[in-house]
């Protein structure tokens, strides 16, 4: 005789979770994101065109007829409003256009080349930051005003104060040049491996660890002073059960608001980190596109970043309902 209680209970839990999923709320948020993305595209488009120079201003001076032909081939000779309307129409169809400086490549192809590197660095950095930062924050909260608390908060302030363009070269100098433990930059034959990715991931994770530990400490202290935590302790629950089952989910709520946009920023790649460690990520293409007045490439990266912010903020709001059943949409 077989026992089917475990599969049936898990399926029932999934059914209850699916029934609670706020489909209407998610659809409304996605619809609201359309005018938001349109506003972002509009501002970025006209700000890029208002900047001095053009895609050919960094090259040697071209004859007027040659430059006119090149502008005509990319549609830059048309009125600005017409260029904007055509570009929005292409973006609506999923076409970000060709790169104005990288010959024979589209913007989507360039982003596709750099996105795996940026995703790897960003996801690993956020995962490490969440794990270590949460542990340090909880430790500082339960040992408030102790040596452990002061040490964690001192390290957090140190990590927040020092920018990544200082931390990156220092780590490269110590662990790459002096100790020769890790590669100081680049990728071996275009392949991502631990030796190449360790220093960029650590450099990007350090400030996030500092911020998350401070947020977690403040939230955990507030939760531990609440009435329902006193009630749980009065019932005789172990301190471990109080922290893990009751305090931690509530204390994690402020982190959810921060993690959404922070994850989007990390996943699209850090401009400084990718420049310091010579990594071919999205951030590197964004900087090169801005310097070379590659309008379509810069706009493509901006659209990607804005889209990720919209998606991750929506996921963060939905996660609120999972962590706190009192949240109503």
292 vs 21, higher pLDDT: 292
Q: Does residue 281 surpass a pLDDT of 60?
A: yes
- 184-192: long-range contacts at Cβ-Cβ below 8 A with a sequence spacing of 24 or more? 184/277, 185/276, 185/277, 185/278, 185/279, 186/277, 186/278, 186/279, 187/117, 187/279, 187/280, 190/280, 192/116, 192/117, 192/120
Q: Does residue 136 surpass a pLDDT of 70?
A: yes
pLDDT-based confidence at residue 38 (cuts at 50, 70, 90): very high
The pLDDT value recorded for residue 58 is 58
In a domain, residue 230? The reply is yes
The Cα 232–Cα 189 span in angstroms is: 56
In a domain, residue 35? The reply is no
Q: Does residue 186 surpass a pLDDT of 70?
A: no
In a domain, residue 158? The reply is yes
The domain in which residue 249 lies consists of 114-290
Q: Does residue 9 surpass a pLDDT of 60?
A: no
Most distant CA pair in the chain, distance: 87
Mean pLDDT over the full length of the chain = 80
In a domain, residue 315? The reply is no
| CATH code of the domain containing 260 | 1.10.3720.10
pLDDT in tens, 212-228: 999 989 888 888 888 88
pLDDT-based confidence at residue 7 (cuts at 50, 70, 90): very low
The Cα 111–Cα 253 span in angstroms is: 33
pLDDT-based confidence at residue 189 (cuts at 50, 70, 90): very low
106: β partners: 98
Kindly provide the b/e burial profile for residues 246-255, where b requires at least 16 CB atoms within 10 angstroms of the residue's own CB.
Answer: bbbebbbbeb
The pLDDT value recorded for residue 276 is 80
In a domain, residue 33? The reply is no
Number of structural domains (the chain) is 1
In a domain, residue 76? The reply is no
pLDDT-based confidence at residue 192 (cuts at 50, 70, 90): low
Instruction: Return all residues near 33 (Cβ < 8 A) that are at least 6 apart.
Output: 310, 314
- 31 burial (CB, 10 Å; 0-12 / 13-18 / 19+) is exposed
pLDDT (mean) for 34-53: 87
In a domain, residue 52? The reply is no
Beta-strand (E) ranges in the chain?
none
The pLDDT value recorded for residue 106 is 87
In a domain, residue 49? The reply is no
């Amino acid at each position: 005789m077989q026992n089917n209680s475990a599969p049936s209970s898990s399926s029932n839990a999934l059914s209850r979770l699916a029934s609670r999923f706020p489909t209407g709320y998610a659809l409304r948020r996605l619809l609201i994101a359309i005018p938001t993305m349109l506003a972002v595209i509009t501002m970025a488009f006209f700000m890029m065109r208002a900047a001095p120079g053009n895609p050919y201003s960094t090259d040697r001076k071209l004859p007027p007829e040659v430059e006119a032909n090149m502008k005509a081939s990319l549609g830059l000779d048309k009125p600005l409003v017409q260029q904007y309307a055509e570009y929005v129409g292409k973006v609506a169809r999923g076409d970000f256009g060709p790169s104005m400086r990288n010959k024979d490549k589209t913007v989507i192809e360039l982003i596709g080349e750099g996105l795996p590197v940026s995703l790897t660095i960003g996801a690993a950095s956020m995962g490490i930051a969440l794990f270590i930062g949460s542990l340090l924050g909880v430790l500082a909260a339960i040992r408030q005003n102790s040596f452990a608390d002061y040490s964690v908060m001192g390290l957090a302030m140190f990590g927040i104060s020092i920018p990544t363009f200082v931390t990156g070269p220092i780590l490269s100098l110590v662990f790459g040049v002096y100790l020769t433990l890790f590669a100081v930059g680049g990728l071996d034959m275009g392949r991502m491996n631990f030796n190449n990715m360790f220093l960029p991931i650590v450099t990007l994770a350090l400030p996030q660890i500092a911020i998350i530990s401070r947020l977690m400490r403040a939230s955990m202290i507030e939760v531990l002073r609440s009435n329902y935590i006193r009630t749980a302790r009065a019932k005789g629950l172990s301190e471990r059960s109080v922290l893990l089952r009751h305090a931690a989910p509530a204390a994690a709520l402020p982190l959810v608001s921060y993690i959404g946009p922070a994850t989007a920023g990390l996943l699209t790649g850090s401009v400084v980190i990718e420049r310091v460690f010579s990594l071919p990520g999205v951030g590197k293409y964004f900087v090169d596109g801005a310097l070379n007045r590659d309008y379509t490439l810069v706009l493509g990266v901006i659209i990607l970043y804005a889209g990720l912010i919209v998606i991750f903020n929506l996921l963060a709001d939905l996660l609120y309902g999972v962590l706190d059943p009192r949240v109503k949409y």
